Amino acid sequence: MTRVVEKQTPFHWLLVALLSVLAVGLGYAVLSLPGQTPGLSDFVTENIETSGVSNPVTAVLLNFRGYDTLLEMGVLLLALLGVWSLSRVPEQSEASPGPVLDMLSRLLVPLLILVAGYLLWVGARAPGGAFQAGAVLGAAGVLLLLVGWRPDARLSGLPLRITLVMGLGTFVTVGMVLILVGRRLLEYPPPFAAALMLLIEAAATLSIGITLAALFMGGRPAERSQQ
């Protein structure tokens, strides 16, 4: 068995003691919070009518705290840029996936895409939304990559990049247009809120799913023009 922890020194016990103090302190802080508090849920419930959706979590994510989601799309893109700048896609091993995985992936990938679409649509009134749908789409991409599928060189150039920035791009465009018509950034007019949020969520779902699958690929895909 490999040795995980280095030889125990006095510093090790000092570390354990310090971390115990930290844990007790954090636990005390948690326990000293009031046992019952409405938090921000009252604000959300009061304003849910103007948000365009009836699911409070989606209302917070896309409307009340849209900044968070906007910047989070940026973080996803930055992480992918970091991975792409570190390495290229490793050489593909030509191992065949085996009949079970092969059949299963053919059955599951269309089903996963369908589930992603459903989650995106149902997010307006029930648990679901862009992130869940994006994660399911990403899982479909990971499954395809595991089976040995690689995007065609024609697709991995501009089309892939456009899909990756589409979520952030749509978000920023909607925000900018709202500023131009005299509202604040991401302050949706209530009659159009539902449609605008669905538009942003649809673009974000595609971007999140493709980004997660591209992260799993582990590097920049080869392009035809570079050969």
Contact residues for other proteins, defined by CB under 8 A: 4-6, 9, 11-12, 15-16, 19-20, 22-23, 26-27, 30-31, 33-41, 44-45, 56-57, 59-61, 64-65, 68-69, 72, 75-76, 79-80, 82-83, 86-87, 129, 131-132, 134-135, 208, 211-212, 215-216, 218-219
146 with 217: CB under 8 angstroms?
no
Q: Which two tokens stand for residue 183?
A: 């509202």
> Which is nearer to other proteins, 82 or 98 (by Cβ)?
82
Which residue, 50 or 87, is less far from other proteins as judged by CB? 87
Closest distance of CB 80 from other proteins, Å: 7
Comparison of 74 and 104: residue with beta carbon closer to other proteins? 74
Among 75, 189, 59, 212, smallest CA distance to 134 is for 212
What b-and-e string marks burial along 121-138, b requiring 16 or more CB atoms within 10 Å of the CB?
A: bbbbeeebbbbbbbbbbb
In the complex, the smallest distance separating the C-beta of residue 107 from other proteins, rounded to whole angstroms, is 25
The full 3-state SS of 118-178, as one line of letters, equals: HHHHHCCCCCCCHHHHHHHHHHHHHHHHHHCCCCCCCCCCHHHHHHHHHHHHHHHHHHHHH
- Shortest CB 63 distance to other proteins, Å: 10
Give 69 or 156: the residue with its C-beta nearer to other proteins: 69
Q: Output 12 or 125, the one with its CB closest to other proteins.
A: 12
Q: Identify the bridge partners of residue 88 per DSSP, sorted by sequence position.
A: 220
CB of 83 vs other proteins, minimal distance in Å: 4
Shortest distance in whole angstroms from residue 154 CB to other proteins: 25
